[in-house]
Amino acid sequence: MTVSYEEALQRYEPVFGLETHVELGTRTKLFCGCPTAFGAEPNSQVCPVCLGLPGSLPAVNRMAVEYTIRIGLALNCTIARWCRFARKNYFYPDMPKNFQISQYDEPLCTDGWLDVVAGGTTVRVGIERVHLEEDTGKSLHVGGATGRIHGAEYSLIDYNRAGIPLVEIVTKPVPGTGFLAPGVARAYVTELRDLLRSLGVSDVRMEEGSLRCDVNTSLSARGSGAWGTRTETKNVNSLRSVERAVRSEIERQAAVLDAGGRVVQETRHFHEDTGVTTGGRSKEEAQDYRYFPEPDLVPLAPPPEWVEKIRAALPELPAARRARLQAEWSLSDLEFEALRNAGAVDAVEQTVRAGASPADARKWWLGELARRANDAGVEVVSLPITPADVARVAELVAAGTLSDRLAREVIDGVLDGEGPPDQVVAARGLAVLSDEGALAAAVDEAIAANPDAAAKVRDGKVAAAGPLVGAVMRATRGRADAARVRDLILQRLTGA
Amino acid sequence: MAITRDEVAYLAKLARIALSDAELDHLAPQLDQIITAVAQVQEVAAAGIPPTSHATGLTNVFRGDEPVPCLGPEAALAAAPAVEQQRFKVPRILGED
Amino acid sequence: MELTRLTAAQLSAALAAGEVSAAEVTRAHLDRIAATDAKVHAFLHVAADAALAAAASIDQRRASGERLGPLAGVPVAVKDVFTTAGMPTTCGSRILDGWHPPYDATVTARLKRAGAVILGKTNMDEFAMGSSTENSAFGPSRNPWDLDRVPGGSSGGSAAAVAAYQAPLAVGTDTGGSIRQPAAVCGIVGTKPTYGGSSRYGVVAFASSLDTPGPFGRTVLDAALLHEAMSGHDPMDSTSIDAPVPPVVAAARAADVSGMRIGVVAELSGEGYQPGVTSRFAEAVELLESLGAKVTEVSCPHFRYALPAYYLIAPSECSSNLARFDAMRYGLRVGDDGTRDAEQVMALTREAGFGAEVKRRIILGTYALSSGYYDAYYGKAQQVRTLIIRDFEAAFGQVDALVSPATPTTAFGIGERADDPMAMYAADLCTIPSDLAGNAAISVPCGLAPEDGLPVGLQVMAPALADDRLYRVAAAAEAALTERWGQPLLRQARGLDA
C-alpha cells in the first residue's frame, strides 16, 4: 500500500535532520603531510601515518583546525575553549587503524544556526555541532553485478583519501516545516554549500564526494507531540536527491505507520534511478564505538585571539551578500528569489560589474538566457556565454548599435560558438543600420513598392504603416531599427 | 562473577579474535580474576576528581599545511598480503557501503 | 683489552683517541653475540652486515678528520618494538613476523645520526606486554646471571644483551616498568625518561599515554650518554616535550647528593617484597644518607591503586592500538582461501597471530571501554591517575627525589609465573606509578640478594623534566656501592661464563 505525499502530510508531521561531511581543501591531510589532490594514482599519496603503519603517530594540521573554526563561526556556533580528539573504534578495511580519529563529546563548535529560505518562508535550521575528523580510504568492490558491495568477490582499497580532513556538520532536528520539508532540506544543503564555498574551505562538489549528505527523517502523528523513530538515508549525492530522499522517506514511513506497522531505526540507501530508499544495516543495535580521548594528540584550546582573528577575516557570507545585492539592485523579495532559483545571482553580479545596469543584466539572464538554458536542459550558468559578453551586448543595445531583436541574434551567435559579441556582430553584419541615407532609400523603396499602404497612411491611417515597416525590415534584413523606420515613414508620408 | 564466559566470547568477537573453545575455557576465569582485581579502582572516592587523559599538560600542538614526500605506491604496498591494480586486495567485505 | 668489557664511555674515548676502530669494536661484539646468544637469546635479528658497514663508514669519516659525537662507533642493541627501515621488526609477535618497515623510528634515526652502530633487534614480550619475555612468540630470553631465570620484561632482550656484554648500550621502552624491572633483575642501569622526553614516532604502540623509550647501560654514565643521544623534541610525535633534554650527562658526572632531600615511599614495601630486596634497598638508602642526603619517609596513599588503574588504562589503549593488525595491509594473513570474508580472515589471523597475554589485554581493554562499563573502569582509572599525580606532586613538595625498590623480587624462574597473570603483574608494583604520572625514574643496581645471589635494583624517581636528578642520585649510589663491592656488580654474574 503506498501513500501519496499529500496524504502523508495530512496525517503526519515530518521532522528531518542532516549530517553533512565536507572534505576540507587543505593542501595536506589532517594528520600527515601527504597531498590531498583529487584523482591521483592509487596509493600514491600515502605515508606511514595515513596508512596507519605500526609506530606511526598523527600530527594535527593547523589549517584544518582554522577552517573548522571558520565554518563554526560562519554558522554562528560557539567555539570550544578546550576540546579533544577521540578514537571511534570499529573494524573496516577502508580504515587503516580500525579506528577513526574524530571528536565525540567535545566537538570544536556547537550550537549555531543557518537561515534558509524555501517556498517563500525563512526557516532557521539549528546546528548541533561541527567537528573535525579524518576520512577513510576508498574501496572498489570487484565481482558483483553492480560494483556495489553485495555479491562482490573481493575488494580493492586505495588509501589516498584516508586522512583527508573532514568536517562533520550536524543539524538539530528540524520540525514544523510541514509539506515544505523536502524543499527546506534541499535549501539547507544548497545554502550550506554556498556558504562553505564562500569561506574558501572546500570545493564542495557533491559529485566528487567533497560534500556528502546523510538525511535523517521521522514522522510524528499530527497532534501527538511525540517524535517518531528516525531513519538515516545515505548515498544522497545531489541536491535533487536530498529533496527526493526526504520526500520518499516521508511517503514510505507514512505507509508503514498507516498499515499499523513500526518504523525501524535503520540506515537506508537512496537510489538515484528509482528515487526510493531501500533498507540496509539495522541501527536497532547501535554500534558501540568505545570512544575514548585520543592519547596520541593533545587537547585543542584555540586561543581567543586566534578565534577573533579568524572571525575578523570572514568574507561576506552569502546571506549578507544576497541582502546587499537585493538592495543595490532594488529588487523585491520575490524578484530576488526568482534570480536565486534560476541560479543567476552570481552571473547578474558579474554582468553588473562588467558594466551593465542591474535591470539589463537581470532582463537577459532571466529572460532570453533562461529560456535558452531551459530548452537545452542545462543550468543557465553553464551556457557558453560569459557575463562580460552579456554586458557587452547590453552596452551595444544602449548605444543603439543593436536593437533588442538584433541583440538576441548576437546572443544566439555567441551561444553557437561564433565568438564574442563584437565578432558576431561583424561576421553576421548585425549592426543596426544607422546610415540615414541608406535608411531613407529603403523607406522610399518600400513606399514605392506598397502604394496602397502608403496611400492609407497619407490619409491618416497610421496603423497601415505596419506593412511598410515590415517591408523595410525585410529589405534591411532586420538591421534597421524598427522604431526609427516607422518614424521615417510617417515623416515621409504625413510630414509629421 | 565479574565476567562470564559468554561475555568473554562476545568481547572476543567485538575485538575480531576467533577464540577457540579451549582458549575461552582458559581465558575466561583468568579475565574474571583480573577484572575483579582491577575493579579496586572503584573503591577510590573520586567524586569531583577530573580524569587525566594526557599527563604532559600540553595543548595546541600543530603542524603547518606543507606537503612532504610520500612513501610511493611500491613501498606502501610492499608488505601487502595481496595486491591488484595498485591497491590492497582484501577478501570480500560484508555489510553496508 | 677485552673490548666487550669496556663501558660505552670507555669505548667512546678509545675510538676518539684512535686506539681502536669502530670495525674492531663492532666485530668484537658480533663475536660475543655469536658465542653466547644461543644460550641468552637476547637477539631476534643480528644485523651483522649492516653493522659492519656502518662501522666502516664511521671509521672512514673519522679518518678524514670529521669530528664525531660521543656515541660514534659505539654498538647499541635495539628492542624490536622500534621500526628499523629494511630490518625486520616483529615486536616479539607472530603477527608481524617478516615485516620490514619502510621507515625508521625517530629514535632509530637519532642513533644512526649519532653514529651508534646498531647490532640488531632484541627480544621482547609480545607488543611490550609482560615482565619476563616469556610472552615473546619466539621464545624467552634468559638472564645472564642464571640462564634458568627471566631477564625481566618487556625489554628483556635489551637488558640481557647489555648484561651479557653483547652490547654496551641498548634501547627499550617502559610502559609499566619494562625498562627498569629488567634492568633491576639483570643488574644493570635502565631509565624511564619523562614521558614525551623521547619520541614515540616509530615505536609500535602498546599504551600510547604511557610508552616511553629509554636507555640501558652497565653504568649510570653510559645510560646518560644514550639518554641524551636518543631524546629531544620530535614534531612527528605530538606528545613529545618541546624543551631541551635535561642535563643528564653532567648530572651523572656530578654524582653528588649532599643536601638532597630523598623520600622513601612507604607504600612500596611490605608483603610480597622479597627480604633480600628489602634489605639491599634499606642499605642503599642508608648509604645515600651517609653521602649527605636527607632521607625521610613519604606517603603516597593512592599508589596501591596504581596497579589496577594501569591494568585498565594500558589494556584499553592497547585494545585500540592493536586493532590495526587485521591481515589487510601487512603482516600475517591466515584463512584467506577464497571462501571467507574479510571479517573472518581478520579474526582467524588475530587468533593465530596474537599470544595469550595480548589476547587477554585486548579483551580486557575492549571490556573497560564498552558503553556501560566505561565510567566504572576506564573513567575511574583515569581519575586514579589524577590522584597518583597529586600524590607525586605532594611528595615532591617535600623531597627532591623518591626511592623504592625497582621490583619486589629478584629474577624469577622461567615458567614460574607464566600461567599466573596476576603474579606476573605484581612485578610492576613499584614502577607503574611513575608511568601513570609521566615522571622520570631509573633503576640502578644496589647489590645482590643474599638468599639467591641475584641482583637487586634501587629505583629513584624524580618529577617530570627533572631527569637529571635521577642520574645525580644514581651515580652517587653507584660510585659508593662499587667502591664498597670493590668491582662492578656485573663481574659477579656467573650465568654465562662459569
How far apart (Å, rounded) are the C-alpha atoms in residues A123 and A16?
13
Chain A segment 255-284 residues within 8 A of B by beta carbon are 267, 269, 280-281
Say whether pLDDT at B96 is over 70: no
**Cα–Cα distances in angstroms (integers) from residue C396 to residues B97, C301, C310, in the given order:** 55, 14, 22
User: Cβ contact (<8 Å) for C383 and B51?
Assistant: yes
Best B7, B63, B74 member to test A by mutation, with max A CBs in 10 Å, is B63
Considering only alpha carbons, which residue of chain A is nearest residue B57? A298
pLDDT in tens, A222-248: 888 788 999 999 989 899 999 999 999
- Element holding C456 (H helix, E strand): strand C455-462
**What confidence category does residue A42 fall into, taking pLDDT thresholds of 50, 70 and 90?**
very high
CA C402 and chain centroid, separation: 19
Arithmetic mean of pLDDT, A363-387 = 89
Arithmetic mean of pLDDT, C58-80 = 97
User: Cβ contact (<8 Å) for B93 and A152?
Assistant: yes
Q: Which range, of A64-68, A121-125, C276-280, C493-497, averages the lowest pLDDT?
A: C493-497
Arithmetic mean of pLDDT, A410-429 = 89
Residue type, A343: G
How far apart (Å, rounded) are the C-alpha atoms in residues C18 and C402?
42
pLDDT of residue B95: 62
User: Cβ contact (<8 Å) for C101 and A55?
Assistant: yes
How many beta-carbon pairs below 8 A join chains A and B? 137
Chain B segment 68-97 residues within 8 A of A by beta carbon are 68, 70-73, 76-77, 84-97
- Angle (CA) C280 C282 C286, round 5°: 115
Segments of C302-454 assigned E as strands: 401-405, 440-448
**Neighbors of chain B with 3 or more C-beta pairs under 8 Å:** A, C
Nearest to B93 by CA among A140, A62, A34, A104: A140
Sort out which chain C residues have CB atoms less than 8 A from B20's CB and list them: 351
Residues with Cβ within 8 Å of residue C349, at least 6 apart in sequence = C95, C325, C326, C327, C331, C332, C333, C334, C335
Cβ–Cβ contact A54 with C under 8 A: yes
Nearest beta carbon to residue C324 from set A96, A291, A297: A96
CA C373 and chain centroid, separation: 32
**Cα–Cα distances in angstroms (integers) from residue A477 to residues A214, A442, A471, in the given order:** 57, 11, 10
**Neighbors of chain C with 3 or more C-beta pairs under 8 Å:** A, B
pLDDT of residue C498: 43
Residue type, C198: S
Q: Which grid coordinates are listed for C91?
A: 615486536
pLDDT in tens, A178-216: 999 999 999 999 999 999 999 999 999 988 889 999 999
Q: Which range, of A211-225, C234-248, C450-464, averages the lowest pLDDT?
A: A211-225
pLDDT of residue A74: 98
Cβ–Cβ contact B62 with A under 8 A: yes
User: Cβ contact (<8 Å) for A43 and B77?
Assistant: yes
Best B7, B65, B68, B85 member to test A by mutation, with max A CBs in 10 Å, is B65
Give domain limits for chain B. Answer: 5-43
Q: How distant is the Cα of C142 from the closest Cα of chain A, in angstroms?
A: 27
Q: How distant is the Cα of A155 from the closest Cα of chain B, in angstroms?
A: 5
Biggest CA-to-CA distance, chain C: 73
b or e along C302-327 (b: 16 or more beta carbons within 10 Å of the residue's beta carbon)?
A: bbebbbbbbbbbbbbbbbbbbbbbbb
Q: Counting beta carbons within 10 angstroms of the beta carbon of residue C353, is it exposed (0 to 12), middle (13 to 18) or buried (19 or more)?
A: buried
Best A46, A290, A294 member to test C by mutation, with max C CBs in 10 Å, is A290
Best B56, B59, B70, B83 member to test C by mutation, with max C CBs in 10 Å, is B56
Sort out which chain B residues have CB atoms less than 8 A from C301's CB and list them: none
User: Cβ contact (<8 Å) for B35 and C363?
Assistant: no
Residues with Cβ within 8 Å of residue C178, at least 6 apart in sequence = C125, C128, C131, C153, C154, C155, C172
- Would you give the end-to-end CA distance of chain C in angstroms? 20
Nearest beta carbon to residue A33 from set B58, B67, B97: B67
Higher pLDDT: A370 or A114? It is: A114
Sort out which chain C residues have CB atoms less than 8 A from B9's CB and list them: none
Q: Which grid coordinates are listed for A257?
A: 505507520
Cis peptide before C154 (omega within 30 of 0): yes
Sign of CA dihedral A98, A99, A101, A103: positive
Say whether pLDDT at B22 is over 70: yes
How far apart (Å, rounded) are the C-alpha atoms in residues C79 and C203?
10
pLDDT of residue C300: 98
Nearest beta carbon to residue A295 from set B14, B53, B59: B53
**What confidence category does residue A281 fall into, taking pLDDT thresholds of 50, 70 and 90?**
low
Cβ–Cβ contact A82 with B under 8 A: yes
Hey, what long-range contacts does A146-153 have (CB within 8 A, 24 or more apart)? A148/B97, A149/B93, A149/B94, A149/B95, A149/B96, A149/B97, A152/B92, A152/B93, A153/B92
Nearest beta carbon to residue B88 from set A60, A157, A235: A157
The CATH H-level superfamily of C3-303+386-492 is Amidase signature (AS) domain (3.90.1300.10)
Residue type, A165: P
Q: In chain B, helix, strand, coil percent, each to 5?
A: 40, 10, 50
Catalytic machinery residues of C = 79, 154, 178
pLDDT in tens, A127-154: 999 999 999 999 999 987 777 777 789 9
Q: Which residue in this structure is represented by grid cell 642501569? A: C189
Q: Which range, of A107-111, A351-355, C293-297, C396-400, averages the lowest pLDDT?
A: A351-355
pLDDT in tens, C76-126: 999 999 999 989 999 999 999 989 999 999 999 999 999 999 999 999 999
Nearest beta carbon to residue A55 from set C201, C316, C342: C201
Cβ–Cβ contact C380 with B under 8 A: yes
Residues with Cβ within 8 Å of residue C473, at least 6 apart in sequence = C257, C260, C262, C288, C293, C401, C403, C460
Q: Rg of chain B over CA atoms, in angstroms?
A: 22
Cβ–Cβ contact B10 with A under 8 A: no
pLDDT of residue C450: 96
**Neighbors of chain A with 3 or more C-beta pairs under 8 Å:** B, C
Cβ–Cβ contact C337 with B under 8 A: no
Q: How distant is the Cα of A143 from the closest Cα of chain C, in angstroms?
A: 13
Q: Indicate the average pLDDT of chain C.
A: 96
Considering only alpha carbons, which residue of chain C is nearest residue B2? C367
Biggest CA-to-CA distance, chain A: 102
Q: How distant is the Cα of A64 from the closest Cα of chain B, in angstroms?
A: 8
Sort out which chain A residues have CB atoms less than 8 A from C83's CB and list them: 53-55
Say whether pLDDT at C184 is over 50: yes
**ipTM score assigned to the predicted complex:** 0.96
Cβ–Cβ contact A144 with C under 8 A: no
A239-258 helix and A181-199 helix, angle to the nearest 10 degrees: 150
Say whether pLDDT at A168 is over 70: yes
Arithmetic mean of pLDDT, C131-139 = 98
- Angle (CA) C261 C267 C269, round 5°: 95
Best B40, B41, B43, B89 member to test C by mutation, with max C CBs in 10 Å, is B41
pLDDT in tens, A454-465: 888 888 888 888
Arithmetic mean of pLDDT, A390-411 = 89
Sort out which chain B residues have CB atoms less than 8 A from C386's CB and list them: 46, 49-52
Nearest to C251 by CA among C31, C417, C468: C468
Question: What domains can be seen in chain A, in order of their start residue?
Answer: 5-310 (no CATH), 316-428 (no CATH), 436-494 (1.10.10)
pLDDT of residue A337: 83
Q: How distant is the Cα of C338 from the closest Cα of chain A, in angstroms?
A: 8
Sort out which chain A residues have CB atoms less than 8 A from C316's CB and list them: 292
Residues with Cβ within 8 Å of residue B69, at least 6 apart in sequence = none
